[in-house]
Amino acid sequence: MLETKQLRKSFKDGGTETHVLKGVDFLANDGEFISIMGRSGAGKSTFLYQMSLLDDPTGGEVIIDGHDTHLMTPEEKMHFRLRKFGYVFQDYALLPELTAVENVALPLMMAGKTKQQAYKEAEVALTRMKLGHRLGNLPSQLSGGEQQRTSIARAVAHTPKILFADEPTANLDNESSRIVMDIFKELHAAGQTIIMVTHEEEFAKQAERIVRLDDGRITSDERMRSV
């Protein structure tokens, strides 16, 4: 379970302070697939970064499974990100000098698995993403859709508690986007908690819950279908 209480985030630029999140209360239950929507500048990506511990909020709390994260040290947050979270970024965020299998295996190795174990699990994750034939390819040798699927494989290979996705289909064509969303639905069906930021209504509706943000506040929280 992930909960935010009065979550605030401001940015200072010279003398000007911009309040991006203005006290967001939010609750994500285990196993939910939630889309976060909003117009550009609404604060949806900022909200995702605070929840996923990639950034520190200006105020408020992020509580994950009862752990108040603002009490955590940077080291503890790093361990949390490594073991409990998975990330899918808009631009795939793969390391260019690592092959597909190496990109997926790296966090597994960091989590303490041996190289052989990590490679084996990475292969399984990539095969699940239908990339079993692309294990040794560098990101530059993969299409956008393949890169995003590699990114998803990296995010889920260690079976994270929550998968965070920031505009995962923004850089993809329709066909690749559909494949990515199908993967998300499969993962969700298998019990994976997913919190996805998107501005595309069509894909947002594939989640079971749509949370809309505007001007740093949640304006609606709509359940699409029952779990």
Partner 1 sequence: MWSWLNVRIGFFLATRQLRRASLWTTSLIIFVMVLTFLNLVVVSGILVGLMQGAIDAVRTKYTSDVIVSTLDDKRYIENAPSVISLIKTLPEVEALSARYRQGGTLEANYKTRKDSDKPNTAPAVVVGINPEEENSVTGIAGDLIEGEFLAPGDYDKVVLGNYLLTQYFPIETPGFTTLDNVGIGTKIRLSVGDVTREVEVKGIIKSKVDEIAMRAFMVDSQMRSLIGRTDGNVAEIAVHVTPGTDPAVVRDAILLRGVGQYAKVQTFEDAQPKFLRDIINMFNMLGAGFSSIGLVVASITIFIVIFINAITRRKYIGILKGIGIHGRAIEYSYAFQSIFYAVIGSGIGLALVYGALVPLFLAHPINFPFSDGILVAPLGQTMFRVALLIVSTVIAGYIPAWMIIRKNTLDSILGR
User: Between 76 and 221, whose beta carbon lies closer to partner 1?
Assistant: 76
The answer to whether 136 contacts partner 1 (rule: CB under 8 A) is: no
CA 3 and chain centroid, separation: 16
How many residues sit close enough to partner 1 to count as binding (CB under 8 A)?
Answer: 26
Report which DSSP code applies to 167: S
Closest CA to 107 of 130, 88, 128, 134: 88
Q: How far is the CB of 154 from partner 1 (least distance, A)?
A: 7
Helix (H, G, I), strand (E, B), or coil: what is residue 118?
A: helix
Residue carrying structure tokens 């019990």: 191
Output the smallest distance, CB 79 to partner 1, in A: 7
Q: Which is nearer to partner 1, 9 or 212 (CB)?
A: 9
Cα separation, 174 vs 192, in Å, equals 24
Q: Report the site for partner 1 in 154-173 (rule: CB under 8 A).
A: 154
CB atoms under 10 Å from CB of 139, counted, come to 19
- Least separation, in Å, of the C-beta of 85 and partner 1? 8
| Residues facing residue 13 across a β-bridge | 16
Query: Segment 53-112, which members bind partner 1 (CB under 8 A)?
Result: 54-55, 78-79, 81-83, 85, 87, 89, 93, 95-98, 102, 106-107, 109-112
Q: Are strands 2-13 and 59-64 parallel, antiparallel or unpaired?
A: antiparallel
- What is the smallest separation between the CB atom of 81 and partner 1, expressed in angstroms? 5
Min. distance of Cβ 78 from partner 1 in angstroms?
A: 6
Contact between 61 and 139 under an 8 Å Cβ cutoff? The reply is no
Q: Which residues bind partner 1 (CB under 8 A)?
A: 49, 54-55, 78-79, 81-83, 85, 87, 89, 93, 95-98, 102, 106-107, 109-112, 115, 138, 154
